[in-house]
A and B are shown apart, each in its own frame.
Chain A
C-alpha cells in the first residue's frame, strides 16, 4: 500500500493558450484553478490545500502562498515543488497524497502556468539561462539556452544510433497533427516533413520545428481522496505507479545516453503499478524538443535503445497507432507552460473527455519525461475510476 493509492485527480482545467497580453503568471494559474475546482464538482470552500510552482518566467519564492492569497484561500499547507518537467506535478501529487493521509488536507488545488511570451514585453522577466546551474562553467561559453543542452544529446544520439533529422521531424509532424484535433492548442495548422526540414537551424541538429513553443498558459488539477471522488460522481484518475530518477544538474555532467534516468524512472513506475508499457493505451512524454520523444519512447520500452528514431518515423506516435504519444499536441504544438498539460490530458483520456483525440476506452495512460536537460526523470502510470 502507498499513500498514492488513496487519491484521485477529480478535475482538470486549462486557460486559453498562446499570446495573452497583459496576463501575469499568477492570473493564469488562478483562472485555471477556479475552472479546475468547478470541473471537480467542488466549491471554493472545499479547497484546503494549495500546491504549485511559479514556473520560470515569473519565478517567485513561496509561490503557493501567493496563489492561495490571490484566490482568497487560507489553507493549512501551501507547498511548492520544483523537480523539473513532469516531476514537478508528480511530486506535488505525492505531497498531496501524504497530506491527505496525514489528515492535513481533504481537497487540494494544484496550479501551474507561465507567461513566457508576455513577460518579455513587460520587461520584468528573466532569462532562464543560469537556472540549470552552469553559470561558472557553461554560460561563459554561450551554453545559455535549454535547447542547446538538448541539442548536445540529440547530436550524440545521431552519432551513436544513426538517428536522422527526418526522424525528429516525424515527431514534430505527429504532434502538430494531434494539435489539429485540439481546439485549445497554441499551434493547430498541420505541418509536413518538408516544413520541418525547411525550418531554420536553431542549435544543430535541432531546427525551429524541433523546439517546443513558448506560451502564455495556465493549467490546474484538483486532488481528493478516492472516497470523496466517488461521492462527487465525476470520473477521475488514480495513480497506479510512480517512479523517478535524478542523475545530474548541469548538462555537461550527465551520464551517457544509455545511463540517463529515463528507463530507471519508467521501470520503477511500471514495477510499482504491476503493469508494463504493453498495458498503456496512450503515453504523454514531456517534449522540450522532438528528441525528447525519441528518448522517451526508448525509456518507456516502446522500442529498444537507439531505436526511437525509426519508431517515430514508422507512424507509431499517431492517434490511430497501438500506443499514441502526446495526443494533446505536446509542448511542440499545444503549448509550453511548464509541462502540466501532459498530465491534464492523460487525466482527460481516463475521464473520456478528450474529444476528437480520445482513445476509446482508455484504461491505462502513462505520463513520463524529464526536467532540466535529462537531469531528473519522472514517470506516472495512471488509471481511471468513477
Chain B
C-alpha cells in the first residue's frame, strides 16, 4: 500500500483551491471580465484568456451529471479497501463540472440528476478533498 494519489497542493494556480478545501470551503476562480466560473483553476480564464480573476466561494450545491460504481481495485491494492466506490461528475450550481466522490451513496436510488451538496474528506495523506452527499 503506497497511499492514495495526492494532488499537488503547491501548484501556484491551484493552491488557493486546496487551501480553501482544508478550511472546508469550496472556492473557484471567476473571470472578472466575462463572469465565467471555471474548473479546474488555472492562471487565466479559458473563455477569454483574461488573467483578471477573483476567487469566489461556491454555494456547495450541484447535481449528479453522471457516475460510475467502480468494482475493481485497478493496478494494485491502493483502492482494495474502498471497492465498490462511486466516482461522479458533479455539475455545480455555478456552472462548472468537476469529478468527485459521493459519500455514503444509496446505490439502489442513486441517479443522474440527483441533488448533492459538498462536504469534505480529510485524508490521512494530509490533504482535504471536496466530496458530495446526496440531499433531499
**A residues whose Cβ falls under 8 Å from a Cβ of B:** 127, 129-130, 134-145, 148, 151-153, 155-156, 159, 200-206, 250-253
Contacts and interface: CB of A to CB of B under 8 A. Distances in A.
Contacts of A142: 4, 70, 79, 82, 85, 87, 101
B5 A152 contact: no
B34 interface: no
Given A138-B99, A142-B87, A203 B69 contact: yes
Nearest to A211: B72
Given A148-B68, A201-B71, A252-B98, A141 B112 contact: no
A137 B69 contact: no
B123 to A, nearest CB: 8
Interface of B: 4-8, 11, 14, 39-40, 65-72, 74-76, 79, 82, 85, 87, 89, 97-101, 111-113, 123, 127, 129, 131
Contact of A159 (B4, B66, B82, B129): B66
B127 A140 contact: yes
A31 B129 CA distance: 47
Contacts of A144: 5, 74-75, 79
A129 B100 CA distance: 16
A137 B67 CA distance: 15
A151 B68 contact: yes
Given A129-B74, A140-B129, A253-B97, A135 B67 contact: no
A137 B89 contact: no
A178 to B, nearest CB: 27
B66 A140 contact: no
A137 B101 contact: no
Contacts of B99: 134, 137-138, 141, 143, 250-252
Contacts of B6: 140
Contacts of B112: 155-156, 159
Given A142-B101, A251-B99, A252-B97, A153 B129 contact: no
A200 B74 contact: no
A370 to B, nearest CB: 17
A202 B67 contact: no
A203 B85 CA distance: 9
Nearest to B129: A140
28 contacts: A127-B76, A130-B5, A135-B8, A136-B8, A136-B14, A137-B98, A138-B99, A139-B5, A140-B4, A140-B129, A141-B101, A143-B87, A144-B75, A145-B72, A148-B68, A148-B87, A151-B68, A152-B66, A155-B112, A156-B66, A159-B66, A203-B69, A203-B71, A204-B69, A205-B68, A252-B97, A252-B99, A253-B39
A141 B112 CA distance: 19
Contacts of B97: 252-253
B66 A135 contact: no
B74 A145 contact: yes
Given A138-B99, A155-B66, A127 B71 contact: no
A206 B74 CA distance: 15
B69 A152 contact: no
Given A129-B74, A142-B82, 13 more contacts: A137-B7, A137-B39, A137-B40, A141-B87, A142-B79, A142-B101, A143-B87, A148-B87, A155-B66, A155-B67, A156-B66, A203-B72, A253-B97
Contacts of B98: 137, 252
Nearest to B40: A137
Contact of B71 (A137, A138, A202): A202
